[in-house]
């Protein structure tokens, strides 16, 4: 689920604001329109458009868990991985929503 708000927010000031408010999180930029904030297994992606800013929260899977999922795919098949992914999503969804709201409140100020 995404949070969208209409505002003229500068990309560079938002990036500096996030780096100062979240020193133990990774703040990455893909290009001049996308900022990714990573906190453990949770990632928040901020996309800047001309007239709006979109904040999206999700699980961050570019870690050793991908190797684990690949191993589980080989052992249990496709259905087992879907069940495990859904269970993981259920357990992390509250943390994802909370972290996304934190980022939204910092940017909105």
pLDDT band at 89 (very low <50, low <70, confident <90, very high): confident
Exposure string for 25-51, b = 16+ CB within 10 A, e = fewer? bebeeeeeeebbbbbeebbbbbbbeee
Beta carbons of 36 and 19 less than 8 angstroms apart: no
Please give the pLDDT value at position 50.
81
For 48-89, give the DSSP string.
E-SS-EEEEEEE---STHHHHHHHHHHHH-HHHHHHHHHHHH
Domain limits of the chain?
2-108
HSE-up of residue 15 (Cα within 13 Å, Cβ side)? 15
- The confidence score (pLDDT) of residue 2 equals 64
Mean pLDDT of the chain: 81
Domain 2-108 adopts which CATH fold? TATA-Binding Protein (3.30.310)
- Taking only the tens place, the pLDDT of each residue in 34-60 is 999 988 878 888 888 888 888 888 777
Lowest mean pLDDT among 27-36, 45-54, 75-84, 94-103: 75-84
List, in sequence order, every residue forming a beta bridge with 2; answer none if it has no partner: 56
Global confidence as pTM? 0.66
CA dihedral 7, 108, 96, 40 (to 10 degrees): 110
């Amino acid at each position: 689920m995404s949070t969208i708000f209409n505002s003229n927010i500068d990309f560079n000031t938002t990036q500096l604001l996030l780096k100062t408010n979240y020193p133990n999180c990774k703040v990455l930029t893909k290009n001049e329109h996308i900022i990714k904030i990573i906190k453990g297994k949770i990632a928040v992606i901020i996309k800047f458009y001309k007239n709006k800013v979109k904040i999206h929260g999700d699980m961050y899977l570019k870690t050793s868990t991908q190797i684990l999922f690949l191993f589980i795919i080989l052992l249990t098949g496709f259905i087992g991985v879907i069940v495990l992914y859904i269970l993981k999503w259920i357990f992390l969804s509250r943390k994802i929503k909370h972290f996304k709201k934190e980022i939204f409140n910092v940017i909105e100020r």
